[in-house]
């Protein structure tokens, strides 16, 4: 305590230099923490978005993840309802589970044959009520609020399509899609005319001609036996998707409609059972328990479990990118603090050479001189780190209440810009500890040089 008291008085003797050093440390701490909070908010926003739409885990037929996109119907889970019942009533999994719902992925050709246009699509069959419950998941309290699905309360033949699909199929006017210049009939006929066999299948649908204000498409898909199956569907809305490639191919529909397209009159199946957990931190425990169930109770079918990070590789890439940037910034700012504190300590040693000689002549050992300067650096580091954390919290609060917005990757609507510093105890403690450690390390060489001074040379220093 005596050494710390003396070190504090020495810092106060050179207030201007000490304040300058502290200011550099505070700016460094604020920079690290604000950027860390910003990147943390981005990764949590991405995670929340993926979990809202696709859950934490998906139970799939073995190898569906590798090969299922080519022929989803061949990788269906025959008794998917049994899988859902087992998982939902398992005493270990049930407390972790928020939603368990089946889904179907399919590929096909969507056409607006009145305009003579068609295109390939990726379809998704969903249980709308379950998906609406999934959209309410927000474990981190982020300003993300997804509205209910446009399929809520609609008939089985209702679908939602991407804006890109609406443009290609010339459904912009009834669906009120913007930025959709009208195509010329000649271009449409030459570029995307519907095949004759699809048109013939569509004519088998006995229905009255749709009014001009109503948007309908014909969707052709291959069933489980490879035979073509067609359905006439009512488009209730066109929604912009997060990625253009997906926006140009997406068609969302009710699960029952997707099952009829793929399996016809046969027993319906699902290509995945989507599981949304209460907390993301439960993924490891849930996967371990699911592995036990798949090896025992559910061993009748070859199933496997994939988590959202595997299903959405962009998430892992984004997390890795921000981690690399954060690490680079932390090293760069640490180097600046290292040289700043080192320069301050070196100047202090030069100015106090005679004082050092006096202390040595009075009997203070070399270790005591080293300890004195190291204590000064430690105090600088602790005060700078504490002030930096407080300043970062203030800056984060100002940013969070400034009303700024941004468009996260994969989102279609701007969300409030927030910096997540408060509550990130690990990041704050790590930054403060790192700055204090850098300050102590930077003082080691000046303290060593001060301790190795000869008493006679130090006393006659002017």
* pLDDT confidence of residue 396: 92
| Residue 239 placed within a domain | yes
Q: Has this prediction a pTM greater than 0.85?
A: no
Between CA 443 and CA 270 the distance in angstroms is: 65
pLDDT (tens digit, 9 = 90+) per residue, 156-211? Answer: 999 999 998 998 888 888 888 887 776 544 344 444 445 565 555 555 544 444 45
| Residue 411 placed within a domain | yes
218 lies in the same domain as 73? yes
Give the mean pLDDT of 361-369: 75
* pLDDT confidence of residue 462: 53
Is residue 279 predicted with pLDDT exceeding 90?
Answer: yes
Ranked by mean pLDDT, the top range of 84-93, 164-173, 412-421 is 84-93
440 lies in the same domain as 402? yes
| Residue 53 placed within a domain | no
pLDDT (tens digit, 9 = 90+) per residue, 433-454? Answer: 888 888 888 888 877 777 777 7
287 lies in the same domain as 182? yes
| Residue 54 placed within a domain | no
According to DSSP H, which parts of 300-312 are helical? 308-311
Is residue 15 predicted with pLDDT exceeding 80?
Answer: no
- The range of the structural domain enclosing residue 198 comes to 63-301
pLDDT band at 405 (very low <50, low <70, confident <90, very high): confident
Number of domains composing the chain: 2
237 lies in the same domain as 96? yes
Write out the DSSP string of 111-163.
EETTTTEEEEEEEEEE-HHHHHHHTT--TT--S--PPPPTTTT--TTEEEEEH
Is residue 461 predicted with pLDDT exceeding 70?
Answer: no
331 lies in the same domain as 274? no
* pLDDT confidence of residue 196: 60
393 lies in the same domain as 434? yes
Percent of the residues in the chain that have a pLDDT greater than 90, as a whole number: 29
| Residue 56 placed within a domain | no
Boundary residue ending a domain (257, 278, 301): 301
103 lies in the same domain as 156? yes
Between CA 219 and CA 253 the distance in angstroms is: 11
42 lies in the same domain as 189? no
* φ/ψ of residue 38, rounded to 5: -65, -45
Ranked by mean pLDDT, the top range of 69-78, 165-174, 402-411 is 165-174
Any idea what the Cα angle at residue 221 is, between residues 187 and 259, rounded to 5°? Answer: 140
415 lies in the same domain as 451? yes
Would you tell me how many other CB atoms lie within 10 Å of the CB of residue 423? 12
421 lies in the same domain as 341? yes
Give the mean pLDDT of 297-309: 91
150 lies in the same domain as 40? no
* pLDDT confidence of residue 190: 42
Per the prediction, the chain carries an average pLDDT of: 83
| Residue 309 placed within a domain | no
Boundary residue ending a domain (277, 301, 325): 301
| Residue 441 placed within a domain | yes
16 lies in the same domain as 70? no
Boundary residue ending a domain (270, 301, 332): 301
Beta-bridged to residue 235, according to DSSP, are 159
Residue 193, token pair as written in the block:
């005319």
Element (H, E) at 211: none
């Amino acid at each position: 305590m005596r050494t710390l008291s003396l070190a504090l008085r020495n810092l106060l003797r050179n207030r201007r230099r000490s304040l300058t050093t502290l200011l550099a440390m505070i700016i460094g701490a604020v920079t690290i923490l604000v950027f860390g909070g910003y990147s943390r908010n981005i990764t949590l926003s991405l995670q929340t978005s993926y979990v809202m739409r696709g859950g934490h885990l998906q139970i799939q037929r073995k190898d569906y993840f590798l090969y299922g996109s080519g022929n989803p119907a061949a990788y269906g889970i025959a008794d998917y309802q049994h899988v859902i019942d087992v998982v939902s009533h398992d005493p270990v999994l049930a407390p972790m589970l928020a939603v368990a719902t089946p889904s179907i992925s399919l590929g096909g050709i969507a056409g607006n044959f009145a305009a003579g246009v068609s295109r390939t699509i990726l379809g998704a069959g969903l249980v709308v009520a379950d998906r609406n419950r999934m959209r309410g998941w927000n474990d981190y309290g982020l300003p993300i609020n997804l509205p209910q699905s446009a399929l809520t309360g609609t008939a089985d033949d209702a679908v939602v399509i991407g804006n890109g699909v609406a443009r290609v199929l010339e459904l912009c006017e009834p669906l009120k899609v913007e930025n959709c210049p009208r195509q010329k009939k000649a271009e449409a006929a030459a570029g995307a005319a519907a095949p004759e066999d699809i048109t013939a299948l569509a004519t088998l649908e006995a229905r009255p001609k749709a009014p001009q204000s109503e948007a309908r498409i014909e969707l052709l898909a291959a069933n489980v036996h490879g035979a073509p199956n067609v359905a006439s569907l009512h488009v209730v809305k066109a929604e912009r998707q997060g990625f253009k490639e997906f926006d140009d191919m997406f068609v969302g529909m009710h699960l029952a409609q997707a099952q009829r397209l793929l399996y016809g009159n046969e027993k319906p199946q699902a290509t995945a059972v989507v599981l949304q957990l209460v907390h993301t931190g439960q993924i490891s425990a849930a996967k371990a328990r699911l592995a036990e169930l798949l090896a025992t109770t559910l061993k009748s079918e070859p199933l496997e479990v994939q988590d959202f990070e595997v299903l959405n590789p962009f998430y892992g890439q984004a997390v890795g990118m921000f981690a690399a940037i954060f690490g680079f910034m932390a090293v760069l700012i640490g180097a600046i603090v290292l040289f700043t504190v080192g320069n301050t300590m070196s100047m202090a040693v030069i100015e106090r050479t005679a004082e050092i000689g006096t202390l040595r002549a009075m009997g203070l050992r070399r270790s005591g001189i080293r300890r004195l300067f190291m204590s000064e650096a430690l105090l600088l580091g602790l005060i700078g780190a504490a002030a930096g954390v407080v300043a970062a919290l203030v800056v984060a609060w100002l940013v969070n209440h400034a009303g700024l917005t941004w468009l996260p990757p994969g989102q279609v609507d701007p969300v409030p810009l927030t910096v997540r510093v408060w509550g990130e105890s690990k990041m704050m403690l790590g930054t403060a500890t790192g700055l204090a450690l850098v300050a102590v390390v930077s003082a080691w060489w000046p303290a060593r040089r001060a301790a190795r001074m000869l008493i006679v040379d130090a006393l006659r220093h002017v």
